[in-house]
Amino acid sequence: MPERAAPAAPPTAVAAAANSPVPGLILAFDYGQRRIGVACGDTVSRTAAPLTTVSAANSGAHWAAIDSLMRDWKPAMAVVGLPYNVDGSESAVTVAARGFAGELAKRYVLPVRLVDERYSSLEAGTRLKAAREAGLRKRRVAKTDIDAAAACIVLERWFNEKT
């Protein structure tokens, strides 16, 4: 699946610690074994917007694409969704998402927070389909759109946890 490019002119992020009152840009990731949805948001407006989808495979994330996102957006921190089972138990994908989060923290030396992302893809699909039905969205809803929108939901959940 082709990767969508991030918007051309990313805002400059202010480097900030995760719990600092200083504003900062956050990248959120909806980890999946085929695709990783990416969204951005900031601690001032507490809003999230979908950015792109990065391909993934059995060997892991497409790190060159993530390197480019990190270089362009310069986030103060990252948020990664943890895909728990419906009953709250962990699965192999949960373990892989934790590994992805650990690798993000190590590679980019930034704080990474984990958020329960159960049903985020379902919620994202529902939101996007409703927007299309209301005429707010022209094109059909693709899986990549759902993944990036799910990353928005992951970030929104993190914002809600912080209040």
Q: Which two tokens stand for residue 89?
A: 């138990």
Cα angle: 54, vertex 130, 35; to 5 degrees: 15
**155 assigned to some structural domain:** yes
**35 assigned to some structural domain:** yes
**15 assigned to some structural domain:** no
Of the candidates 119, 151, 117, 149, the one whose C-alpha atom is nearest the C-alpha of residue 132 is 149
In which band, very low, low, confident or very high, does the pLDDT at 9 lie, cut at 50, 70 and 90? very low
- Any bridge partners for residue 56, and if so which? 61
Please write the tens of the pLDDT for every residue from 89-98. 999 999 999 9
**8 assigned to some structural domain:** no
**2 assigned to some structural domain:** no
Structural domain including 31 reads: 25-161
**46 assigned to some structural domain:** yes
Helix or strand holding residue 48 (H, E): strand 48-57
What CATH number does the domain containing 140 carry? 3.30.420.140
Residue type, 160: N
**What is the rounded average pLDDT for all residues in the chain?**
83
Please write the tens of the pLDDT for every residue from 20-64. 444 689 999 999 989 999 999 998 889 999 999 999 877 677 899
Split into its structural domains, the chain has a count of 1
**16 assigned to some structural domain:** no
CA distance 29 to 53: 9
**12 assigned to some structural domain:** no
pLDDT at position 4 is 42
Report field, pTM of the whole predicted structure over 0.85: no
